[in-house]
Each structure stands twice: as C-alpha cells, then as structure tokens.
C-alpha cells in the first residue's frame, strides 16, 4: 500500500513539475482544463477539474485572491459559476447576472433582470443555480418564467421568451440555468409541488423562438386516472446535460403532485420521478426510466446524470435518487446494470430490484395516517451535486441521515400562488430510529457502491462537491467552513471560514497559468429551514452572499 502511495506521489510530483496543465489523459472531463465552461464543467457531470497546481502538498497555502459581493443575499448564492477564457459569469439573488475578471474580481458588466412583480408572491423565489455560456451569449432562466439571452461581451439583452404563465401555473419559474444542445436551449421549471402540468421547454438559442415543449405528465389515463394529470405536477427543476456523442439530452423530472397523497392519482404517474433521454431536435423520448412509480414521498428523479466508465470498456449512467438508491443504467437504452443503496437509513422500500429497477414493497403514505419515512423529503442528499475523479475512480457526494414523520391528507384546492400542493396534514423532520441525524461526505465506486471512505459531519453539507487532479475534494458546510479533503482517504487538508454557509457549486479554473478555486458562499434555499427540525442549531446560522476565490502565491 505504501509503495503504491509513494508511486502515486511521485507521479503527482512529476506532473506538477510540468506546470499547471492537465493530466496526460484527454477527452470528456479532461478537455479545456483552464475553463469551467458548463454547469458540471463537462457533459458527463463529473465536476472534475484537471488542474493540479493546487495539490495535496500545497493546498494549505491557499489564500483569498478576491471576493465578489453582489449586494443582495436573499437565499444566498446557489450558483455554480462559469469561467471561459479568463471571464467568470455568475448569477446572484433576484436574477442579478455578473461578468467578472476571473483573476481580479473586477466587474466587467452586470445585468439585472426586470422581473414581473408577481415573483414576490412565489414560494420558490430569488434563487438561481447558474447561467449558461455559449454561442456568444449568456443564457438565464428567470424567476418570472422566461429564457433570456445576453450578449456575452456586453451583458445587453438579445432576446427574451416568456415560457410559463406565472398566474395560471402557480408561479412555475426557472430556478436553474437552461442548457445548450447545439442550437437548442432547453430547461424545466419548478412545479413538482404545484397542481400544474409540468413542462420542459426548448427554444432556438440564437433567436429565442420556441421549438418544442415536453409535457411531463403523460397523456395516459392508466398513468393518470380521471383528470389527475391536469394537477399532476412534474417538473425538471435541475439542469439537464447534453451528450454530444449520441446527441442526447439527459434530464430528470420531479415528483408528482400532490406530493404526499396519491388518492386521486393511483397510477404510475409517468413521466414524473423519471430519467428522460430526449432527442434535442424534437423533444421526443429516446428512452426513459421511472425510478419512483406513483411517487408519494417527494423523491423526484431530478439529480445529475453521471456518466462514468464501468471498468469493462463501457460508459454507464449512474443516477442518485432522493429515495436513497443509485440506479446504474446503460446510457443508451436505460437498461438496468445495477442498483445500490446510498443512504444508511431507508425504510420506504425493502430495496430496489437491480434487474427491473422497481422498488420492492414500497410503503406509501396513507391519508390521515402518520408514518415514519426514511429518507426525508429533501432526500438522501439534497440537490447539491457530487463529483467524480477519474484519477481515483471515485464519486464524491454528500449525504444526510434524516427521516420524516408524514401525515398524509387529501389536497384542498389552492387559493394562491404562494401555496404548494403537498397533500399533507403534518410533517416533521426527525432523527433516524435509535440514532442522531447527521451528514457525511462519501467516496464511492459509482458502479458498485463500494465506499472507500466517509467523513461524518454534525450537519449535512448542502454544497456541491469539486474534485481536482491535484488529488483534492472540496465541499462547504452550513456554517460556512470550506473544506479540502484528500481524495484518497478523506483526511482534511485545509479549511477556511467564509462566515455563511455554502449552498452553491465550488469550481476550479486557471488564468494566465495560475489556478483558482472559487466557492459561492451564503446560506440559502428552503432546505436549511426544513432541516431545522432535526438540526435546531441551523436557526442561528447567518445568511449572506459572497463569492470567495482562492489561489496560491
């Protein structure tokens, strides 16, 4: 073991001597090493930076290079910044978009979206998870239901297309950046918790002209009895990914509505809680895999489609569900290759059949009954994404061990757009039976689920994870401590107190031969509030919004 470690150290040292450049490997995940050009950096959703100037040996020397404060803190910073050729593009609360000099933090331009006043009434307000850059433009999805394109150089608005009817669709809005598939710009809205027909929209990225709309609740009375489809919810509230090799969009969908009551929707409720593979030109389904038929736990299937080598020469799609299982699929057909349990505390089903992908003996909430369900409604992990390192062949992802007591109830008609259709009489987030709720960061073989290491935390991290070719894993906690761990064993090598929690996506990039680590800080989203039931100490944690960028001399 020691010999292997020494050999690895020697390899890393040798690589460092060659400068900042990436590992010798090339291809998806390694390409374009100085930039962070898309949401997960590469289409395979690795969140891996091939840069290695900052490594295990010197990470302790990281210092703050610059800080950007957008001046608005509502729901903190939830974005993953984009960096292209020395310019950082990011988004702050209330759709404030910034282009920054990525070496100094100097503001190059700012765009503030003029939003419909109705946004003030919406439950899912203020927050955005990022922007998309391409075709000379910066694209955002707005809090009042539009796709907007800005000129990449000036920030001037080029086009704006209204896609949702905020009033009629209970405030369905874009909390995530639409993604590019060639000249097609696509994305979905909030809406899984609302009595609407959730949709995925696509427009021409150059003109904003609408091209196709995918209605997530399938028009099928077997899936949706009576008129339940019209209130079936379904949304695609996280960014999808686009595999240019097969010309395929991967995008996951939300739970059905009402979230915790299925009395009026006794069917499989396709295509909610489903991984979709779509043709970007038509929006037609290439294949689909529904992970949670008749979802009554608010589990969704919205998380990232991680494409990883299976060790046998093929690439597979590994997909974490809030329900506590990872589904490993053939990326071209959706056929099951494996299923493994991610969470430690799970009682909603006895397992997942690794051949069919279906839950075994699921225990559904029932009207007027109170049941304990694990994982809780936020999931075995919240939406904060994991990261895959091709050097270690490990997938680093945060988790939480929290359950909820749910009393299901029939859903009364909503009377305002601030309301959600949850189908609840009561809900309480609690400790797992006989244990204290906590969080962890795990390093897994994404295909088999074998854990190499786990680091446990008093409270779960709500930060996305970054891993680098320097052998590092970065994640931030709800108190605002940014941590760097050894990718091989989870040993903490560096930390920094940013003062307010991390909810966004840390990234790494390089400008003029210097590597930077950027961490959006500022505790936000509704998740911390939900979690206060299990972690009362969250109540005293401050909000904030500061993008903190580190480098080394």
Partner 1 sequence: MQRCLGLLLAVACQLPGAIASAAEPPFALDDPQRIEAGRRRFASTCAAYCHGAEGSGGRAPAFKGNAGLTADDAFKTINEGRRGSDIMPPWGNALTPEQIWELVAYLQLLSRQPAP
Residue 122 in contact with partner 1, rule: CB under 8 A: yes
Residue 532 in contact with partner 1, rule: CB under 8 A: yes
Q: How far is the CB of 548 from partner 1 (least distance, A)?
A: 17
Cα–Cα distance for residue pair 205/140, rounded to 1 Å: 11
> Among 382, 384, 524, 548, which residue sits at the site for partner 1 (rule: CB under 8 A)?
524
**Contacts with partner 1, 479-518, as mask; x by CB under 8 A:** ----------------------------------------
Residue 126 in contact with partner 1, rule: CB under 8 A: yes
Cα–Cα distance for residue pair 178/180, rounded to 1 Å: 7
Residue 418 in contact with partner 1, rule: CB under 8 A: yes
> Among 84, 173, 306, 424, which residue sits at the site for partner 1 (rule: CB under 8 A)?
424
248-252 vs 274-278, strand pairing mode: antiparallel
Q: Which of the stretches 116-124, 234-242, 468-476, 505-513 binds partner 1 when contact is defined by CB under 8 A?
A: 116-124
Q: Which long-range contacts (CB under 8 A, 24 or more apart) does 219-227 make?
A: 220/270, 221/267, 222/267, 222/268, 223/267, 223/268, 223/269, 223/270, 224/265, 224/267, 224/269, 225/264, 225/265, 225/266, 225/267, 226/264
Residue 125 in contact with partner 1, rule: CB under 8 A: yes
Cα–Cα distance for residue pair 299/312, rounded to 1 Å: 31
Give the residue among 109, 73, 106 at the shortest CA–CA distance from 92.
73
> Among 428, 445, 499, 552, which residue sits at the site for partner 1 (rule: CB under 8 A)?
428
**Contacts with partner 1, 50-79, as mask; x by CB under 8 A:** -----------------------xxxx---
> Among 21, 210, 543, 552, which residue sits at the site for partner 1 (rule: CB under 8 A)?
543
Q: Which of the stretches 117-125, 197-205, 222-230, 322-330 binds partner 1 when contact is defined by CB under 8 A?
A: 117-125
Q: How far is the CB of 340 from partner 1 (least distance, A)?
A: 31
Give the residue among 448, 444, 483 at the shortest CA–CA distance from 466.
483
Residue 529 in contact with partner 1, rule: CB under 8 A: yes
> Among 225, 245, 433, 542, which residue sits at the site for partner 1 (rule: CB under 8 A)?
542
Which residue intervals of 415-507 are DSSP H helices?
none
Partners of 370 in beta bridges = 407
Nearer residue to partner 1 within complex by CB, 393 or 428 = 428
Cα–Cα distance for residue pair 506/138, rounded to 1 Å: 20
Q: Per DSSP, which regions of 424-505 are E strands?
A: 424-430, 438-444, 451-457, 466-468, 472-476, 481-486, 492-497
Under 8 Å between Cβ of 204 and 185: yes
Nearer residue to partner 1 within complex by CB, 148 or 424 = 424
Residue 409 in contact with partner 1, rule: CB under 8 A: yes
> Among 32, 121, 206, 431, which residue sits at the site for partner 1 (rule: CB under 8 A)?
121
> Among 416, 434, 512, 553, which residue sits at the site for partner 1 (rule: CB under 8 A)?
416
Under 8 Å between Cβ of 139 and 132: yes
> Among 160, 419, 452, 495, which residue sits at the site for partner 1 (rule: CB under 8 A)?
419
Cα–Cα distance for residue pair 157/109, rounded to 1 Å: 12
Nearer residue to partner 1 within complex by CB, 540 or 553 = 540
Residue 147 in contact with partner 1, rule: CB under 8 A: no
Residue 420 in contact with partner 1, rule: CB under 8 A: yes
Q: Which of the stretches 77-85, 307-315, 380-388, 427-435 binds partner 1 when contact is defined by CB under 8 A?
A: 427-435
Under 8 Å between Cβ of 328 and 339: yes
Cα–Cα distance for residue pair 52/227, rounded to 1 Å: 56
Residue 371 in contact with partner 1, rule: CB under 8 A: no
Pair of tokens at residue 343: 């969470």
Q: Cα angle at 275 between 184 and 209, to 5 degrees?
A: 20
- Provide the 3-class DSSP secondary structure of residue 516: strand
User: Residue 505 — φ and ψ, nearest 5°?
Assistant: -115, 110
Q: Cα angle at 67 between 66 and 69, to 5 degrees?
A: 155
Give the residue among 484, 520, 482, 466 at the shortest CA–CA distance from 49.
466
466-468 vs 48-49, strand pairing mode: parallel
Residue 120 in contact with partner 1, rule: CB under 8 A: yes
Edge-to-edge strand list for the sheet holding 274-278: 241-243, 248-252, 274-278, 285-290
Total residues contacting partner 1 (rule CB under 8 A)?
42
Nearer residue to partner 1 within complex by CB, 338 or 408 = 408
> Among 327, 530, 550, 551, which residue sits at the site for partner 1 (rule: CB under 8 A)?
530
Nearer residue to partner 1 within complex by CB, 196 or 249 = 196
Nearer residue to partner 1 within complex by CB, 74 or 183 = 74
Nearer residue to partner 1 within complex by CB, 52 or 176 = 176
Q: How far is the CB of 93 from partner 1 (least distance, A)?
A: 10
Query: The tokens 């057909």 sit on which residue?
Result: 333
**Of the residues 268, 298, 300, 438, which is catalytic?**
298
> Among 305, 427, 455, 481, which residue sits at the site for partner 1 (rule: CB under 8 A)?
427
Q: Which of the stretches 99-107, 231-239, 263-271, 408-416 binds partner 1 when contact is defined by CB under 8 A?
A: 408-416
User: Residue 546 — φ and ψ, nearest 5°?
Assistant: -150, 125
Nearer residue to partner 1 within complex by CB, 326 or 531 = 531
Q: Which of the stretches 77-85, 279-287, 330-338, 538-546 binds partner 1 when contact is defined by CB under 8 A?
A: 538-546
31 is catalytic: no
Kindly list the residues in this chain that would bind partner 1 in the complex (CB under 8 A).
73-76, 120-123, 125-126, 407, 409, 414-420, 422, 424-429, 522-524, 526, 528-533, 536, 538-539, 542-544
Q: What are the residue numbers of the active site?
A: 298
């Amino acid at each position: 073991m020691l010999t292997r470690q020494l050999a690895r150290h020697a390899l890393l040292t040798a690589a460092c001597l060659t400068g900042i450049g990436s590992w010798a490997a090339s291809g998806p995940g390694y390409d374009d090493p100085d930039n962070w050009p898309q949401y997960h950096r590469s289409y395979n959703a690795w969140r891996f930076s091939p840069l290695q100037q900052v490594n295990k040996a010197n990470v302790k020397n990281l210092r703050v290079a610059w800080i950007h404060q957008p001046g608005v803190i509502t729901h903190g910073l939830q974005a993953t910044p984009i960096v292209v050729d020395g310019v950082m593009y990011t988004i702050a609360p209330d759709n404030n978009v910034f282009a920054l000099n990525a070496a100094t933090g100097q503001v190059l331009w700012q765009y503030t979206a003029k939003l419909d006043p109705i946004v003030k009434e919406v439950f899912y307000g203020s927050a955005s998870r990022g922007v998309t850059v391409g075709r000379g433009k910066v694209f955002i999805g707005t809090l009042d239901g539009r796709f907007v394109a800005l000129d990449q150089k000036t920030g001037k608005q080029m086009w704006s297309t209204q896609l949702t009817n905020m009033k009629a669709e209970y405030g369905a809005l874009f909390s995530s950046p639409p993604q590019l598939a060639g000249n097609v710009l696509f994305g979905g809205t909030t809406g899984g918790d609302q009595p609407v027909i959730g949709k995925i929209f696509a427009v021409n990225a150059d003109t904003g002209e609408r091209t196709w709309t995918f209605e997530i609740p399938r028009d099928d009375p077997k899936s949706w009895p009576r008129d339940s489809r019209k209130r079936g919810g379904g949304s695609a509230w996280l960014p999808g990914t686009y595999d240019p090799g097969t010309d395929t969009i991967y995008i996951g969908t939300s739970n059905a509505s009402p979230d915790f009551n299925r009395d009026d929707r006794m069917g499989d409720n396709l295509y909610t809680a489903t991984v979709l593979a779509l043709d970007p030109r038509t929006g037609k389904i290439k294949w689909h895999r529904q992970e949670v038929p008749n979802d009554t736990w608010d589990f969704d299937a919205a998380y990232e489609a991680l494409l990883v080598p299976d060790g046998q020469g093929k690439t597979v799609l590994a997909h974490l569900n809030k329900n506590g299982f990872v589904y490993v699929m053939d990326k071209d057909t959706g056929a099951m290759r494996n299923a493994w349990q991610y969470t430690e505390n799970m009682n909603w089903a006895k397992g997942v059949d690794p051949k069919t992908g279906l839950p075994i003996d699921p225990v559904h909430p029932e009207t007027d009954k109170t049941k304990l369900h694990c994982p809780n409604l936020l999931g075995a992990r919240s939406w904060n994404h994991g990261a895959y390192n091709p050097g270690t062949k490990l997938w680093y992802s945060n988790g939480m061990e929290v359950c909820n007591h749910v009393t299901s109830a029939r859903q009364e008609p909503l009377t305002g757009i601030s309301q959600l259709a949850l189908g609840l009489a009561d809900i309480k987030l609690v400790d797992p039976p006989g244990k204290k709720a906590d969080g962890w960061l795990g390093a897994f073989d994404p295909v088999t689920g074998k854990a190499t290491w786990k680091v446990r935390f008093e409270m779960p991290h709500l930060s996305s994870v970054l891993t680098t070719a320097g052998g590092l894993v970065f994640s931030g906690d709800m108190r605002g401590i940014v941590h760097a761990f050894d990718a091989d064993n989870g040993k903490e090598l560096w930390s920094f107190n940013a003062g307010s929690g991390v909810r966004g996506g840390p990234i790494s990039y390089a400008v003029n031969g210097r590597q930077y680590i950027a961490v959006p800080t500022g505790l936000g989203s509704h998740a911390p509030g939900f979690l206060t039931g299990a972690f009362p100490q969250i109540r005293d944690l401050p909000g904030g919004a500061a993008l903190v960028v580190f480098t080394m001399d």
